[in-house]
Structure 1
Amino acid sequence: MSTLLTLQSLTKQYASQKAVNHISFSIQKGEICGLVGENGAGKTTLLRILSGLIAPTSGEIFSSQPYRIGALIESPALQPNLSAEGNLHYIALQLGLKNRQQIIEETLEIVGLQEVNPHKKAKDFSLGMRQRLAIAMAILDRPDFLILDEPINGLDPAGIRDMRNIILTLREQYNMTILISSHILSELELVVDRYIIMHKGKVLRQFSKTELQQELEEKLYLATTNLEATKILLQKQDISFQEENDYLILPKETEIMSLIAQLIHERIELKAIFNKKIAFESYYLQLIQEGESSNELS
């Protein structure tokens, strides 16, 4: 993949607060990137900067070539008294698109609104239909880069499935680069290629879907009556570990029987040992906790 755009030390400051704090990362052409963070992490501010709605206080966005942007940020700006087709005609006229009718019909089909009653007004649409129409408006000129802010918020399971299929179609058939902000981690796992984790205006971590799967693979959990002595033992045996509450987390390929024999030899009593796969939500919350600890030390 080649790079579509690169952010370098991007910052947005309101009075004494930095909503976006020296963020740097790149987005590759054709990838679906998930932006994850709690409320107030700076996600929407960042998306508004990327979409050109607001200017950064400092920092730059680089690209090797011009690119078109489509965006759905916060509430969709629909014309309530127009139909789906009417809304798209309104946007098409603003964009000066040629072959408007053909493009509108194709776009309605992409988002699954081609069968909607042509006389039905947008104000009478369901939430899912409004979201699909908003995406249709954002992709009408087939942008290179599509920005979606919480596109599945409030949707029922069928609506979430439809939105997922639309996103995947846009990437697979139109090679759109897509940046999605969402709180629904389980849904992001089904569509994204890479994650960017934000916390308090900063990027905590970036990792690919493959790297995340490696982080979340099944691991060995160990609890003993003397964790400090156990850690010393593991270090002597060159066994890597992480700590979580009263447990030590070891690689799943650890030789369990050999480790138990060593614990017995060192007279360390075993309290619990089991395999467990880490959930994305737990991993994300752990990253946030580590970010808080880092902020307290800095």
Structure 2
Amino acid sequence: MKTKETLLTIQGICKHYGQQAALSDVTFSVSKGEICGLVGPNGAGKTTLLRILSGLIRQSGGEISVAHPPRIGALIESPSLYPNLSAHDNLRFAALQCGIDQVEERIQQVLGLVGLSDVDKKKKVKDFSLGMRQRMAIGLALIDFPDFLILDEPINGLDPAGIKEMREIILNLRDRFGITVLISSHILSELEQVVDRYVIMNKGRVIQDLSKDDLKAAVAEKIYLSTSDNPLVLTSLEQQGVSGQIGGDFVKLPPVWSVQELIQHVLTLGVEIKAIYPAGQGFEDYYLNLVKEGN
């Protein structure tokens, strides 16, 4: 399997406001052409980090390095739009600021990418729906065709149709144009449908960095077994090639053996079975347990 090229490396980033630490030793990397999801509760430091990466504020310490200077597009917090201009004129103003050649061609291309090609050219942005404004804001971030796109809560407040449209836009930008995306969102079920990797933050720190496959393995169904002697049972099972771990009152095991096979094995050890059941864990529960452990 070909190793992906690293586009951005964040090493030991800190940000302080007086005595208050908003970020502490944040370290992770983003590979070229991937969609990386930034996850965490309110106050975790996600927006502060995205503002640093966008060049809006400076970090107090740490380093940000890139393989080559990327063009960066960003949608941070509320979209900055000119409400009394049309989508076309908002994009024209941004294109002229960026010194883009063939402005009209670029505007039409971007409008097509964000699904606004059919909007009346005279319709002002102030009369757009929330979903249209969000797409318009992404259009502004795309006007210079960035290598790296930063999106802070782009689906906040959108209805299901708007969320679906936003998802399709983000996937298209990666799959068709190879744009790398760093996206933060509280809607975990939606992130699961678009991201390749997750960076989970809490209290200004990265508490976990895992791929989509890593997450799938972490939340996969396990068998929970509680006995009168969990260490003995775990040792015996490991000798049989069944790896597991003890958590609380339970031995957590992968579903290598059936529940009935486990029961039969444990009974041969002369150990009392208190409880045994298979159970999976969704991303939401996994995330909430991680955050709870960090509090």
Q: TM-score category by the smaller chain? A: over 0.9
Q: Does 1:234 align with 2:237?
A: no
The equivalent residue for 1:290 is 293
Q: Is contact 1:230–1:263 with CA below 8 Å preserved after alignment? A: no
The equivalent residue for 1:117 is 120
Q: Percent identity?
A: 55
Over the aligned positions, Cα root-mean-square deviation in angstroms equals 1.6
Give the gaps of 5 or more residues in structure 1: 293-298
Q: Is contact 2:259–2:277 with CA below 8 Å preserved after alignment? A: no
What displacement does 1:24 show? 1.2
What displacement does 1:266 show? 4.5
Deviations 1:249-297 (A, max 9, x none): 21111353343134334454334322222100111112112323xxxxx
Q: How does 1:186-201 map to 2 (within 5 A)?
A: 186-201=189-204
Q: Is contact 2:230–2:246 with CA below 8 Å preserved after alignment? A: no
Q: How does 1:11-90 map to 2 (within 5 A)?
A: 11-90=14-93
TM-score, normalisation: structure 2: 0.93
Q: Is contact 1:11–1:56 with CA below 8 Å preserved after alignment? A: yes
Q: Does 1:150 align with 2:153?
A: yes
The equivalent residue for 2:282 is 279
Q: Is contact 2:12–2:26 with CA below 8 Å preserved after alignment? A: yes
Give the gaps of 5 or more residues in structure 2: none
- Change over 3 Å in CA distance of 1:230–1:69 after alignment to 2: same
The equivalent residue for 1:130 is 133
Q: Distance in 1 between matches of 2:293 and 2:245?
A: 13
What displacement does 1:117 show? 1.2
The equivalent residue for 1:253 is 256
Q: Is contact 1:171–1:178 with CA below 8 Å preserved after alignment? A: yes
> What residue identity is the alignment partner of 2:232?
I
The equivalent residue for 1:180 is 183
What displacement does 1:18 show? 1.3
Q: Is contact 2:234–2:245 with CA below 8 Å preserved after alignment? A: no
**For 2:255, what is the secondary structure of its paired residue?**
coil
The equivalent residue for 1:7 is 10
Q: Distance in 2 between matches of 1:204 and 1:2?
A: 24
Q: How many residues align?
A: 289
Q: How does 1:93-108 map to 2 (within 5 A)?
A: 93-108=96-111
> What residue identity is the alignment partner of 2:100?
L
> What residue identity is the alignment partner of 2:78?
S
Deviations 1:108-151 (A, max 9, x none): 01100111111111111110000000000000110010000001
- Change over 3 Å in CA distance of 1:280–1:244 after alignment to 2: farther
Q: Distance in 2 between matches of 1:86 and 1:157?
A: 28
What displacement does 1:217 show? 1.5
Q: Is contact 1:83–1:121 with CA below 8 Å preserved after alignment? A: yes
